[in-house]
């Protein structure tokens, strides 16, 4: 629940707002994204985002669901390798995710498809990830200074800004 506002010194700043007690909507929204950087594409389509939002927290099973979807999308675009530039978030480096990626790559080697190449970033080095500036510009473009956006409004604005199709939320699997 952060919002941009203009304080007395006329500099736009991000401030945390208090959530009202009767507000049942989630305080945060998780989003997985892939930045497709295709130097061979026309200039208008050289950079494209693939986004999926999460119903709940980003955990290993949700990461795997996103990776399954992303690999099928990349394969339909004719891509043979997807390079994942990741930080050390627990849902990126979990044993379950690493095992799934290894199994997926073995299957792709046998049957074809899009394999995953994981490049882990050093701790606390977001400037090395090419998607971070894209996220920053998106956050600034969709934020409202005077109101709190609903989850639906936020998803609509993000999808519109990045030119993405609004897809169903990735659901967390419950045991």
Query: Predicted confidence band at 147 (pLDDT cuts at 50, 70, 90)?
Result: confident
Read off the pTM. 0.78
Give tens-digit pLDDT for 66-82: 999 999 998 988 889 99
Average pLDDT over every residue of 13-34: 72
Report the CATH number at residue 55: 3.30.420
Give tens-digit pLDDT for 9-19: 556 666 666 66
Is residue 92 within 8 Å of residue 86, measured between CB atoms?
yes
Domain of 21, in residue numbers: 2-171
Rounded distance between C-alpha atoms, residue 66 and residue 84, angstroms: 12
Picking from 13, 61, 54, the residue whose alpha carbon sits closest to that of residue 33 is 54
The distance of Cα 136 from the centroid of its chain, to the nearest Å, equals 12
How many domains is the chain partitioned into structurally? Answer: 1
Picking from 46, 45, 48, 44, the residue whose alpha carbon sits closest to that of residue 35 is 48
């Amino acid at each position: 629940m952060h919002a941009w506002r203009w304080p007395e010194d006329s500099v736009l700043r991000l401030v945390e707002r208090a959530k009202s007690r009767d507000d049942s909507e989630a305080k945060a929204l998780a989003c997985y994204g892939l930045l497709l950087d295709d130097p061979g594409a026309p200039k208008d389509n050289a950079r494209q985002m693939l986004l999926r939002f999460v119903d709940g927290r980003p955990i290993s099973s949700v990461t795997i669901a996103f990776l399954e979807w992303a690999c099928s999308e990349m394969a339909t675009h004719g891509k043979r390798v997807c390079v994942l530039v990741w930080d050390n978030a627990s849902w990126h480096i979990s044993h379950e995710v690493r095992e799934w990626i290894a199994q997926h790559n073995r299957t792709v080697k046998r049957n074809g498809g899009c394999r995953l190449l994981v490049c882990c970033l050093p701790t606390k080095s977001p400037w090395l990830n090419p998607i971070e500036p894209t996220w920053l510009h998106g956050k600034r473009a969709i934020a409202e200074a005077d109101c709190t956006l609903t989850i639906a409004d936020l998803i609509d604005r993000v999808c519109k800004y990045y030119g993405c199709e609004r897809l169903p939320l990735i659901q967390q699997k419950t045991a």
